[in-house]
Amino acid sequence: MQAIRACIQIEGIVQGVGFRPFVYGLAHQHELTGWVYNDERGVTIEVEGDKDRVKGFLSGLSSPPPLATIDKTDVSYLLPFGYEEFEIKMSGAGDERRALISPDIATCKDCLNELFDPPDRRFHYPFTNCTNCGPRFTIIEDIPYDRHNTTMAPFKMCPACDAEYHDPSDRRFHAQPNACPDCGPDLRLFAASGMRVAAHDPLGETVRLLQGGKIVAIKGLGGFHLGCDATREDVVSRLRKRKFREDKPFALMCRDVGVVSRLCRLDSLSRGVLESKERPIVILPRKRDAKVAPSVAPFQKTLGVMLPYTPLHHLLFVEGIEVLVMTSGNVSDEPISFKDAEALSRLKKIADFFLIHNREIRTRCDDSVVKPFNGTITFLRRARGFAPFPIKLNRSGRSVLACGADLKNTFCLTRDNSAFVSQHIGDMENLETLNSFVQGTELFKQLFQIEPELIVHDLHPDYHSARYAMGVDLPRIGVQHHFAHALSCMAEYNAMGPALAVVLDGTGYGEDGTVWGGEFLEVTVREYRRLGHLRQIPLPGGDRAVQEPWRMAAVYLERVFGEIEGLQLPFTRGIDLERWSQLRRAIEAGLNSPPCSSMGRLFDAVSALLGVRESVNYEGQAAIELEQIAEQGERGVYPFEIIEYGDTLVVNPDPMIEAIVQDIRGGEASTIISARFHNSVVKVVCEMAQKLREWKGLSDIFLSGGVFQNTFLLGRLWDMLREKGFTVYTHQKVPSNDGCISLGQAYYALHLQGAESTQ
């Protein structure tokens, strides 16, 4: 026998995920001696023994426990030392400072088996977890990730839990949130008045309340949900009224995949995503006969569905409930409640009861929302299950804090080549959200040991995120909004450019002070040039126009036909002509009507023109509903013009508007018109891309911006661009909406530093 000693250094998510016991087991299996140790970068292992066994051990490392992610493995060989046994060495303070923190993970199969096994000591215990599942990010207060640094600190483990915790062969070895009914958190039920309800079984009582049509605020992993029976219209519409939420769809939680398949069309991809360890909300095509209350998702052909992801959720479904509304516990656009006292006061007019537990949530984290697309997923919201997992970049440098945008805000901190993109923070006009942003950046700095040396922000002078950056005493860089969109898609692929970026979104602050949003950019990681854009029109009333899409329709009609009053369209008969003439005067006087090249606003205009949506109750509603009605089979296209102005290509959509009006007059169905409009936008982008390829020789295309959440559009565009020989890149790791801006800003700053240092 030839004895060798191998030293293995592993980086990635390898702490707090059962990695050391896994290594311990593997070493024993191969009869090797040595040790395993958590250090600041990950895990270091030494194993010693027969050469072939060491080889076997090394190949075994490639199938780590489910929550571990190995980024890098380095193996070196040393002279044998003569270890007598294999041990797990305990780490000292400071050794685990740079390790990655796992996102919160859905209950694993083993824990579920225990949860529903009557003789098990954790039978029906709502806080069951192990090293393969359970809370992480939302309970951690400081590093290293040890129980005393989590909100589990007040709970002293009982002897049975303690034994599991210290047994390297146990699934709960060093499972920091380990708990059982004897020693862990428990549930309490409160009435809306704040009075505790004397219930021997708060969970069973909650189930009865839900069955009886009550709305219950339920404390989960990263915040409160408002839960109620999703099949009862009276109940769901009551929730809508109390929440001041008119149309925005509510998320559903279904007992299992079988229930989902009765509500929605499911393929193997969506099924896999629903059952993944991240368990996001998945947007799925709704079946016509889906038995849910109409108020769950008005005007939608889709439903947002998730599966239970904590033991508490699983237990809500044991008594026959199959589908619950489980929407964020907030009032309209405020951030989700996550502290008990705050929830009790903010939600008391919405919820009839509160199911609360005494494990504190340290960090607010919403459910993630995804849509299946092209064999993978696109994010609408990246949060629970994904944050704070970093995105790996091809560039290291001084640490950067990127502040993101004001809508759907995320921030991003970098350390070396890791970009820690925060969970979805929300819309910054809200004081609560702003606090969440500031506290979030502080927490990330602490958890990932980052002291940023540079701060990056959007150019918009009124963005709260940009103003925050102004107040921080660090060197600052501003990055144009749509350039940041492009960069963030490039960052996902570590692309450097030159490439073409097509950025279609609602609004963003342009370099010239006007509003941009239908942009064709030549990009590298260092700079961009605006090669083309949608023709500018006035945005009457600025942000008010975003809430009232009818204004955009009126602006387009006025431009194409020179008037509105005489058009005799259903749309023009419906609008307040008095109001419109005021707005028109404001436009003529150049008052509060900035020029705007936004594609999102063109979608708004068409949506309003078709009578789909004239004013919105949530961001993007008009475009979302326009997509919903588009007829899949329709291939018709409207005309448009591409005009050269100097060295810029400008898309003039006026012929489209004219043709749409003709179709409306001819009695064409909205579903057909919507599809033709979508097809036309696809053709616009394709023709622009082809012209720019001829001109600039660019055949890589990056697509970003909130408009690309429209998968009808994205799917057709993807197909057509590829047909024309382009290499197309879309977002897969962060949303295409403004949730991606922080990543793009960070990517820019890292590459800028590279430029500085090479100069």
Q: Shortest approach of Zn ion to residue 498 CB, angstroms?
A: 48
Q: Shortest approach of Zn ion to residue 182 CB, angstroms?
A: 5
Q: Does residue 505 belong to the site contacting Fe ion (CB under 5 A)? A: yes
- With 0-12 / 13-18 / 19 or more C-beta atoms within 10 angstroms meaning exposed / middle / buried, residue 435 is exposed
Q: Does residue 17 belong to the site contacting Zn ion (CB under 5 A)? A: no
Q: Shortest approach of Fe ion to residue 517 CB, angstroms?
A: 7
Q: What angle do CA 557, 558, 562 make, to 5 degrees?
A: 120
Binding mask 316-335 for Fe ion (x = CB under 5 A): --------------------
Cis peptide bond upstream of 308, omega within 30: no
Bridge partners (DSSP) of residue 254 are 323
Q: Which H or E run includes 595?
A: strand 595-596
Binders of Fe ion in range 1-40 (CB under 5 A): none
What, of Fe ion, Zn ion, none, does residue 182 touch, CB below 5 to 8 Å by kind?
Zn ion
Q: Shortest approach of Zn ion to residue 458 CB, angstroms?
A: 41
Altogether, the residues listed in the chain come to a count of 759
What, of Fe ion, Zn ion, none, does residue 406 touch, CB below 5 to 8 Å by kind?
none
Nearer Cβ to Zn ion (130/664): 130
C-alpha to C-alpha distance for 627 and 371, rounded to whole angstroms: 14
Token pair 């003439």: residue: 581
Nearer Cβ to Fe ion (127/708): 708
Nearer Cβ to Fe ion (231/514): 514
Half-sphere exposure of 716 (CA within 13 A, CB side): 24
Q: Shortest approach of Fe ion to residue 508 CB, angstroms?
A: 5
Q: What angle do CA 195, 197, 200 make, to 5 degrees?
A: 155
Looking at 10, 130, 189, 297, which residue binds Zn ion (CB under 5 A)? 130
Instruction: Report which of 247, 206, 196, 239 is spatially closest to residue 330, judged by C-alpha positions.
Output: 239
Half-sphere exposure of 358 (CA within 13 A, CB side): 11
Looking at 508, 518, 532, 744, which residue binds Fe ion (CB under 5 A)? 508
Q: Shortest approach of Fe ion to residue 738 CB, angstroms?
A: 4
Binding mask 139-178 for Zn ion (x = CB under 5 A): -------------------x--x-----------------
Report the 10 Å Cβ neighbour count for 213.
14
Token pair 């295409």: residue: 736
Q: What are phi and psi of 750, to 5 degrees?
A: -65, -40
- The first and second tokens of residue 77, run together, are 């060989």
Nearer Cβ to Zn ion (63/113): 113
What, of Zn ion, Fe ion, none, does residue 730 touch, CB below 5 to 8 Å by kind?
none
Q: Shortest approach of Fe ion to residue 407 CB, angstroms?
A: 7
Three-state SS for 728? strand
Alpha-carbon Rg for the chain, nearest whole angstrom, is 28
Looking at 139, 483, 738, 745, which residue binds Fe ion (CB under 5 A)? 738
Nearer Cβ to Zn ion (147/481): 147
CB 277 within 8 A of CB 111: no
Nearer Cβ to Zn ion (54/108): 108
C-alpha to C-alpha distance for 425 and 553, rounded to whole angstroms: 32
Bridge partners (DSSP) of residue 456 are 402, 477
- Amino acid identity, position 97: R
Q: Shortest approach of Zn ion to residue 132 CB, angstroms?
A: 5
Q: Does residue 111 belong to the site contacting Zn ion (CB under 5 A)? A: yes
Binders of Zn ion in range 183-222 (CB under 5 A): 183
What, of Fe ion, Zn ion, none, does residue 111 touch, CB below 5 to 8 Å by kind?
Zn ion
Return the range that interacts with Fe ion (CB under 5 A); candidates 244-252, 409-417, 452-460, 738-746.
Answer: 738-746
DSSP 577: H
C-alpha to C-alpha distance for 625 and 197, rounded to whole angstroms: 42
What, of Fe ion, Zn ion, none, does residue 738 touch, CB below 5 to 8 Å by kind?
Fe ion
Nearer Cβ to Fe ion (352/738): 738
Nearer Cβ to Zn ion (310/378): 310
Q: Does residue 132 belong to the site contacting Zn ion (CB under 5 A)? A: yes
CB 492 within 8 A of CB 574: no
Q: Shortest approach of Zn ion to residue 67 CB, angstroms?
A: 9
Three-state SS for 138? coil
Q: Does residue 182 belong to the site contacting Zn ion (CB under 5 A)? A: yes
Nearer Cβ to Fe ion (184/508): 508
Instruction: Report which of 240, 213, 218, 242 is spatially closest to residue 228, judged by C-alpha positions.
Output: 213
Nearer Cβ to Zn ion (107/328): 107
Interstrand relation of 648-652 and 187-191 (parallel, antiparallel or unpaired):
unpaired
Binding site for Fe ion (CB under 5 A): 505, 508, 738
Binding site for Zn ion (CB under 5 A): 108, 111, 130, 132-133, 158, 161, 180, 182-183
